[in-house]
Amino acid sequence: MARKKKRITISRVKTGAFERRFSMAKMSIVAGTRLAAQSAGNLFTAKEDREERQKAILSEQTHYLAEEIGKLKGSIVKIGQMMALYGEHFLPIEVTDALHTLEDETATLDWTSIYEALEDELGVDKLTKLEIEEEPIGAASLGQVHRATIKETGEQICLKIQYPGVAEAVDSDLSAVKTLLRLIKVVPITEEFEGWFNEIKEMMYREVDYVHEAEKTRLFRERLLDDPRYIVPKIYPEFCTKKILATSYEPGVNIDSEETKSLSQKRRNLICEASLDLCWREVFHWGEMQTDPNFGNYFVRLGDGDKIPDRVVLLDFGAVREFSENTIEPGRKIVQAAFLHDSDMVFEAIDELNFFKGKTPEDLKDGLSKLCFLAIEPFADTNKFPPPDYLLNDKGEYLWGDSDLAARLSIQAGRSAASRHFAIPPRELMFLARKIMGAYTFMSVLDAKLKGYDILIPYISLETENYTAISC
């Protein structure tokens, strides 16, 4: 068994605007100076090697920045993680690669500071109703989780406690990050960039608003309460505030744990089927979804392989976002069009998203439709649109563990979407694409063997009826 990394305990998270701005200013000056000096030296590099050398210089300095940002902890780390996930259309790949190295910190806040935060938020009277374990069961960049017992009922709950000052530091941290990007000149601060950055800001506001998370957790629990495939924690309003989230304690094992991966193929398939079905339900029925594909947001409650089924435990609803009709309807139409291999419907949906800029050459439009068809490959009718032979078994099931779909999508995207004829896609659509790709990764890790057609067709049929009704 792998040894758990020992956590470091700290007495406080530095959230003061002055000290964080000073640190950010210092690191940007160091990185900017190094970048400028090395770039100047690169002018003497052979012309054919100059571009690759410049990428290496940028990579080196952005990795330095990521390392320094990680030391600051708090909201700055979460901002960096979000920029890595959703910045591919704005930031150089060298920058997003460096930001992907940011991990939710393993350091925890000491018990004295945590208890003071609990006392400030809940008050002494409510705290006397709880027996709280001092050792946290989880820690991340914005807060940590402690298990507790309600003395009167014996119920075990989790208290997600936000680090003091983190919410108040969000605006300051965002401003400092934008200043850093401007100083080291890795991206032009355009109107499109500002729109994307504002989206990051809104995401951060949701992440630190535990009232929002409590409501979304309650809503998803209500939606899935009668579906035995899922577990959504119960909310305990009495112990919730804007900075404290109290839920039922729902144990399980990690999705990518050896325990989960060693389950029988049938059991793994059922877990994966539940995950995919939930993804499409979010898209087609609810129009809102958990947009963070992090595996830490899921557990598996193992059954006995016979009478007690395995269940997916859904956690952390802070990243749930609603999608506007202007985005979700074209998004649904793109999925349906890709499923049907209907190029005209693809173009119609993409046109509704204002993705085309002026007159677009037919060959590029054709390339984009092929990209959409390829993305839906695991769900296609294999009789009409079969994937490569090596990705189907003799039962007609798609072999997710053997799939090279991500690589083929990357190649096709390079041929089509990276063009001056296309605008930056709507931010909401980027979240939708990221959600679906996260589901694909889930399937691959558990080596699923599924007929994706059977999972998606109920939603496509529903949408076809809707479109027919609209057209009539």
In a shared domain, residues 317 and 353: no
- Domain count along the chain: 3
Question: Tell me, what's the pLDDT at 2?
Answer: 38
Give the range of the structural domain holding residue 347, as residue numbers without chain letter. 323-471
Instruction: For residue range 270-302, list pLDDT tens digits in order.
Output: 999 999 999 999 999 999 988 877 777 889 999
Q: Which pair of tokens denotes residue 37?
A: 């000096």
Question: Tell me, what's the pLDDT at 406?
Answer: 80
Q: Which pair of tokens denotes residue 436?
A: 């679906």
Least confident of 7-11, 142-146, 326-330: 7-11
How many angstroms separate the CA atoms of 274 and 149, rounded? 31
In a shared domain, residues 178 and 301: no
How many angstroms separate the CA atoms of 444 and 439, rounded? 9
Q: What is the mean pLDDT of residues 245-262?
A: 95
Higher-scoring residue by pLDDT: 465, 200: 200
Least confident of 11-15, 89-93, 358-362: 11-15
Q: What is the mean pLDDT of residues 231-236?
A: 98
Q: Which pair of tokens denotes residue 458?
A: 């109920």
Of 208, 229, 256, at which residue does a domain stop?
208
Question: Tell me, what's the pLDDT at 217?
Answer: 97
In a shared domain, residues 293 and 180: no
In a shared domain, residues 235 and 194: no
Q: What is the mean pLDDT of residues 415-441?
A: 64
Q: What is the mean pLDDT of residues 108-112?
A: 89
Least confident of 47-51, 100-104, 125-129, 267-271: 47-51
In a shared domain, residues 200 and 287: no
How many angstroms separate the CA atoms of 102 and 71, rounded? 10
Q: What is the mean pLDDT of residues 181-188?
A: 71
Amino acid at 378: P
327 CB neighbour count, 10 Å cutoff: 19
Query: What average pLDDT does the structure give for the chain?
Result: 81
Q: What is the mean pLDDT of residues 295-311?
A: 91
Question: Tell me, what's the pLDDT at 467?
Answer: 43
Question: Tell me, what's the pLDDT at 16?
Answer: 54
Question: Tell me, what's the pLDDT at 461?
Answer: 65
Question: Tell me, what's the pLDDT at 106?
Answer: 55
Question: Tell me, what's the pLDDT at 465?
Answer: 47
How many angstroms separate the CA atoms of 245 and 138, rounded? 14
In a shared domain, residues 84 and 229: no
Q: What is the mean pLDDT of residues 137-158?
A: 94
Q: Which residue, 298, 315, 296, 313, is CA-closest to 81?
A: 296
pLDDT at residue 378 tops 50:
yes
Q: Which residue, 263, 254, 256, 229, is CA-closest to 455?
A: 229
Tell me the DSSP string of 361-389. Answer: -HHHHHHHHHHHHHHTGGGS-TTTS---G
Q: Which residues contact 411 (CB under 8 A, 6 or more apart)?
A: none
In a shared domain, residues 160 and 117: yes
Question: Tell me, what's the pLDDT at 468?
Answer: 42
Least confident of 330-344, 345-359, 435-449: 345-359
Q: What is the mean pLDDT of residues 11-35?
A: 56
Of 321, 344, 361, at which residue does a domain stop?
321
Instruction: For residue range 382-423, list pLDDT tens digits in order.
Output: 999 999 999 999 999 999 999 998 888 777 766 554 444 455
- Across the beta sheet with 253-254, what order do the strands follow? 230-231, 311-314, 298-301, 253-254
Instruction: For residue range 352-373, list pLDDT tens digits in order.
Output: 877 666 676 777 778 788 888 9
Question: Tell me, what's the pLDDT at 198?
Answer: 84
- Overall pTM > 0.95: no
Q: What is the mean pLDDT of residues 19-27?
A: 57
Q: What is the mean pLDDT of residues 187-210?
A: 83
How many angstroms separate the CA atoms of 379 and 357, rounded? 30
Question: Tell me, what's the pLDDT at 14?
Answer: 56
CA of 140: how far to CAs of 70, 74, 109, 385, in Å? 12, 9, 10, 44
How many angstroms separate the CA atoms of 435 and 291, rounded? 6
In a shared domain, residues 266 and 132: no
In a shared domain, residues 363 and 311: no
Instruction: For residue range 237-250, list pLDDT tens digits in order.
Output: 999 999 999 999 99
Of 208, 234, 259, at which residue does a domain stop?
208
What does DSSP say about strands 288-290 and 156-162: parallel, antiparallel, or unpaired? unpaired
> Would you say 204 and 82 are in contact if contact means Cβ atoms under 8 Å apart?
yes
Higher-scoring residue by pLDDT: 453, 97: 453
DSSP lists the bridge partners of residue 10 as: 109
CA of 110: how far to CAs of 134, 135, 164, 246, in Å? 9, 9, 12, 20
Amino acid at 367: G
Question: Tell me, what's the pLDDT at 385?
Answer: 95
In a shared domain, residues 79 and 171: yes
What are the backbone angles phi and psi of residue 450, rounded to the nearest 5°? Answer: -135, 155
Question: Tell me, what's the pLDDT at 4?
Answer: 46
Question: Tell me, what's the pLDDT at 241?
Answer: 96
In a shared domain, residues 154 and 105: yes
Higher-scoring residue by pLDDT: 306, 199: 306
Q: What is the mean pLDDT of residues 2-7?
A: 47
Q: What is the mean pLDDT of residues 192-199?
A: 80
In a shared domain, residues 329 and 308: no
pLDDT at residue 221 tops 90:
yes
> Would you say 455 and 277 are in contact if contact means Cβ atoms under 8 Å apart?
yes
